[in-house]
């Protein structure tokens, strides 16, 4: 899951840096804007069947690759 | 009935009805139809007495209901208004002010400038005028059919924005068609139109003027509300919106939350899209969330008053057509597809889209050269119609228009119109930058971001630091959406055989 998720993230951020720096702030570093974030959630739903509502998560809970992976894993395990 | 007569009639019939609602952190701001009419009359009569000429008026702000009062006051006093949003950087705003040379600038938000030559009246000043001037204004002072009603500035390839002038007649022609897109207005229940775009972006003409013409209510979303999903959903839920007017990108952002559906917005009857490509995927997702709503795709540049074509995207159409068509021309508009020598092409062949008709702008403000280049006239049924060469590629199939990209270096990013050369010119103004090329990055057939390649006079020691510095310098002059996401440093830019920048090769480097 982790590898696939990072692939998706790298494509949406148009930068492979997200695969190596798992703690990089995706919003602060201009890697992800609100539309790309919306696309990411859609891709996560399509790929893993996991629904994340942006209204239910604070931005600081999904601002790094690491946190996004952890959230998807938590939902998959639930 | 013209737009200004219609507004007066609506205000007289329903003075207590809300013309605008704006949810904000300090509580909801509202404007009634009666206040709109009375206050715009007061401000217009103030301008009649205190402002000498008829130069366009610059209106700076972000969605405050007071902006609508000022817009209307301008045209009631026979002056065009030029809206500027707070999200534009001050340097860009001053560039427009220098171009327009207004005798008065109204600001509904804090406007910071050191320049003492800007004839500024701030929000407190506007309110003072409204409290102390009680005059009414006669319809004979109103902007006439061929007078300029508004000027909207868009990105210009020279690095300076260009002002598209729209006349009262253009708006009336646009509205006589646009009201058929948002049907079903009754006196008892006013139609609520959702506003996403800032007033300096002509997509807002669709929702603002439909509200003004039909006597409805505009429910506006600030940038702050739009960037916080919780606030956005809360606002949408409170809106009671019947007609959702936005770019497809904005709908995609909303769709990312599972609660964006018909139970949140039970009154929504129409989605009106304009400004960029509407994808099958967006339509499919919307249909599953809003099974009873109509989805309407439209097309048109700022130069032809917001939009000139429409098509209802049915389930059948969405399943059989990809890309989706952008629609058939409205009454009063003729579409021509021409080749490089401006000769008409047969049905099905791709060429440049030329729009002829009653909603085409008379040209760019103070720029005769560019106006002559892009605008012209044709004669049809012994009527002379203005034409505009869009620079869009497209083709017609049985009268239906299909969009096929650009023939020049203009792109649409999240609905915003951007001339890549505008960004390049601004990069080249920065000390130490010798060459620059800006390239759109595509994802699923849509521009998803911009990237730049630059050549510097001396080697760059720390590329990351320099990239950040260039971006912040660009932000001083360009709106945020025009600042490239990535900047790469090269020793030289790839060139074609005749010495032009090879954009395809640059794109491959990124």
Q: pLDDT-derived band of residue B189, with 50, 70 and 90 as boundaries?
A: low
The dihedrals phi and psi of B406, each to the nearest 5 degrees, come to -115, 155
Distance from CA of A39 to the nearest CA of B (A): 7
Name residues whose C-beta falls within 8 Å of residue A8's C-beta, 6 or more positions apart in sequence: A40, A43, A44, A47
Q: Which long-range contacts (CB under 8 A, 24 or more apart) does A5-8 make?
A: A5/A44, A5/A47, A5/A48, A5/A65, A5/A68, A5/A69, A5/A72, A6/A65, A6/A69, A8/A40, A8/A43, A8/A44, A8/A47
| Pair (B483, B342) in one structural domain | no
User: Do B448 and A36 count as a contact with CB atoms less than 8 A apart?
Assistant: yes
Min Cα distance A41 → chain B (Å) is 6
Q: Is B257 on the interface with A (CB under 8 A)?
A: yes
pLDDT higher than threshold 80 for residue B114? no
Per-residue confidence at A23, pLDDT binned at 50, 70, 90? very high
Nearest to B280 by CA among B444, B422, B429: B444
On whether both B135 and B190 belong to a single domain, the answer is yes
Which of A14, A15, A54 has the CB atom closest to B256's CB atom? A54
**Which of B297, B320, B343 delimits the end of a domain?**
B320
Burial code (b: 16+ CB inside 10 Å, e: under 16) for B433-470 equals bebbbbbbbeeeebbbbbbbbbebeeeeeeeeebbeeb
d(CA B479, CA B223): 14
Number of Cβ pairs < 8 A linking chain A and chain B: 44
Order of all β-strands in the sheet with B433-443: B433-443, B446-456, B486-490
- What angle in degrees, to the nearest 10, is found between the helix axes of B90-100 and B463-477? 30
Model pLDDT, residue B70:
98
B155-168 pLDDT, tens per residue?
988 888 999 999 99
* Domain CATH number, residue B50: 3.40.50.12780
Q: Look at chain A and report how many structural domains it folds into.
A: 1
pLDDT category of residue B242 using cuts at 50, 70 and 90: very high
**Is B256–A15 a contact, with Cβ atoms under 8 angstroms apart?**
no
Do B343 and B436 belong together in one domain? no
Q: Is the same domain home to B179 and B261?
A: yes
Same domain, B384 and B417: no
Indicate if B264 and B287 belong to the same structural domain: yes
> How far is it, in rounded angstroms, from Cα B486 to Cα B34?
50
Banded pLDDT at B182 (limits 50, 70, 90): low
The full DSSP string for B155-179 is --TTSS-EEEEEEHHHHHHHHHHHT
From CA B499, how far away is CA B510, in angstroms rounded?
20
- Tell me: do B8 and B26 sit in the same domain: yes
Mean pLDDT, chain A, integer: 92
pLDDT band at B78 (very low <50, low <70, confident <90, very high): very high
- The pLDDT > 70 percentage for chain B reads 98
Positive or negative: CA dihedral A21, A26, A32, A34: positive
What is the residue range of A73's domain? Answer: 2-77
Q: Are B257 and B233 in contact (CB under 8 A)?
A: yes
The mean per-residue pLDDT over the stretch B189-208 comes to 93
Same-domain status, B251 and B345: no
Task: Output Rg (C-alpha) for chain A, integer angstroms.
Answer: 11
B163 and B66 inside one domain: yes
Q: Identify the residue whose tokens are 């208004």.
A: B81
Write out the residue range of the structural domain in which residue B182 sits: 3-320
Averaged over A64-73, what is the pLDDT?
A: 95
Average pLDDT over residues B344-354: 96
Query: Strand locations in B326-409, DSSP E?
Result: 328-329, 333-338, 351-357, 363-364, 375-380, 383-397, 400-406
Using CB atoms, pick whichever of B253, B443, B486 lies closest to residue A38: B253
Scanning A13-52 for CB atoms below 8 A from B yields 14-15, 30, 34-39, 41-42, 51
Q: Are residues B176 and B221 in the same domain?
A: yes
The band of A33, judged by pLDDT with boundaries at 50, 70 and 90, is confident
The predicted pLDDT at position B187 comes to 52
What average pLDDT does the structure give for chain B?
94
pTM metric for this prediction:
0.92
Classify residue B426 as exposed, middle or buried by CB count within 10 Å of its CB (0-12, 13-18, 19+).
buried
The structural domain count of chain B equals 3
What is the CATH classification number for the domain harbouring B468? 3.30.300.30
pLDDT digits (tens, 9 = 90+) for B47-71: 999 999 999 999 999 999 999 999 9
Which of B277, B449, B487 has the highest number of chain A CBs within 10 A, making it the mutation to test binding with A?
Answer: B449
Beta-bridge mates of residue B20: B31, B218
Q: How confident is the model at residue B142 (pLDDT cuts 50, 70, 90)?
A: very high
Task: ipTM value, please give it.
Answer: 0.84
Q: Are residues B392 and B301 located together in one domain of the fold? A: no
Of A14, A42, A53, the CB nearest to B259: A53
- To the nearest whole Å, the CA of A27 is away from the closest chain B CA by 12
* Same-domain pairing of B398 and B445: no
Residues B390/B303, Cβ–Cβ less than 8 Å: yes
- Structural domain ending residue among the three candidates B293, B320, B347: B320
Q: Which residues in B4-128 belong to E strands, given as ranges?
A: 18-22, 29-32, 57-61, 81-85, 105-107, 120-121
Say whether A30 and B485 touch across the interface (CB within 8 A): yes
Q: Which of B175, B218, B158 is nearest to B29 (CA)?
A: B218
Query: Which residues contact residue B314 at a Cβ distance below 8 angstroms, ignoring those fewer than 6 apart?
Result: none
């Amino acid at each position: 899951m982790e590898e696939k998720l990072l692939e998706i993230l790298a494509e949406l951020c148009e930068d492979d840096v997200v695969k190596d720096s798992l703690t990089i702030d995706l919003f602060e570093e201009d890697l992800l804007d609100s539309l790309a974030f919306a696309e990411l959630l859609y891709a996560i739903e399509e790929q893993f069947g996991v629904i994340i509502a942006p209204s239910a998560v604070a931005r600081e809970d999904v601002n790094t690759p690491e946190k996004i992976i952890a959230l998807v894993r938590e939902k998959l395990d639930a | 009935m013209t737009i200004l007569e219609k507004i007066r009639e609506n205000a007289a019939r329903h003075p207590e009805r809300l013309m605008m609602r704006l949810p904000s952190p300090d509580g909801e701001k509202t404007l009634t139809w009666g206040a709109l009419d009375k206050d715009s009359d007061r401000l217009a009569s103030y301008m009649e007495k205190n402002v000498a000429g008829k130069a366009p008026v610059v209106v700076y702000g972000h969605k405050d209901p007071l902006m609508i009062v000022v817009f209307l006051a301008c045209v009631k006093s026979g002056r065009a208004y030029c809206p500027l949003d707070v999200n534009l950087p001050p340097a860009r705003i001053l560039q427009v002010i220098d171009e327009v040379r207004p005798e008065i600038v109204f600001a509904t938000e804090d406007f910071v400038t050191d320049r003492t030559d800007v004839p500024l009246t701030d929000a407190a000043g506007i309110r003072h005028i409204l409290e102390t001037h009680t005059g009414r204004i006669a319809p004979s002072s109103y902007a006439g059919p061929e007078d300029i009603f508004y000027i909207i500035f868009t990105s210009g390839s020279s690095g300076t924005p260009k002002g598209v002038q729209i006349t009262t007649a253009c708006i009336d022609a646009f509205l006589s068609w646009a009201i058929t897109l948002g049907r079903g207005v009754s006196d008892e229940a006013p139609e609520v139109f959702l506003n996403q775009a800032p007033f300096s972006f002509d997509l807002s003409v669709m929702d603002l003027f439909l509200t003004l013409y039909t006597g409805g209510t505009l429910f506006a979303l600030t940038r702050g509300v739009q960037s916080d999903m919780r606030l956005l959903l809360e606002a949408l839920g409170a809106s009671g919106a019947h007609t959702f007017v936005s770019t497809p990108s904005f709908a995609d952002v909303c769709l990312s939350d599972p609660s964006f559906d018909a139970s949140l917005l039970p009154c929504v009857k129409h989605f009106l899209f304009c400004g960029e490509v509407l994808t099958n995927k967006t339509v499919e997702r919307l249909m599953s969330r809003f099974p009873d709503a109509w989805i309407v795709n439209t097309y048109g540049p700022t130069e032809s008053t917001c939009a000139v074509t429409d098509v209802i995207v049915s389930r059948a159409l969405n399943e059989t057509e990809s890309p989706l068509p952008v629609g058939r021309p409205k009454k009063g508009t003729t579409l021509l597809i021409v080749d490089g020598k401006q000769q008409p092409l047969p049905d099905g062949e791709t060429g440049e889209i030329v729009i002829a008709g009653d909603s085409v702008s008379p040209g760019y403000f103070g720029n005769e050269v560019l106006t002559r280049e892009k605008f012209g006239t044709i004669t049809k049924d012994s009527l002379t119609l203005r034409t505009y060469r869009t620079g869009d590629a497209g083709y017609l199939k049985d009268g239906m228009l299909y969009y096929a990209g650009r023939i020049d270096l203009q792109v649409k990013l999240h609905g915003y119109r951007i001339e890549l050369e505008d960004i390049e010119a601004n990069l080249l103004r920065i000390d130490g930058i010798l060459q620059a090329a800006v390239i759109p990055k595509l994802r699923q057939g849509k521009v998803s971001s911009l990237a730049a390649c630059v050549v510097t006079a001396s080697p760059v020691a720390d590329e990351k630091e320099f990239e950040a510095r260039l971006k912040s310098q660009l932000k001083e002059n360009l709106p945020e959406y025009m600042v490239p996401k990535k900047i790469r440093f090269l020793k030289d830019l790839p060139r074609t055989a005749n010495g032009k920048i090879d954009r395809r090769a640059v794109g491959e480097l990124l």
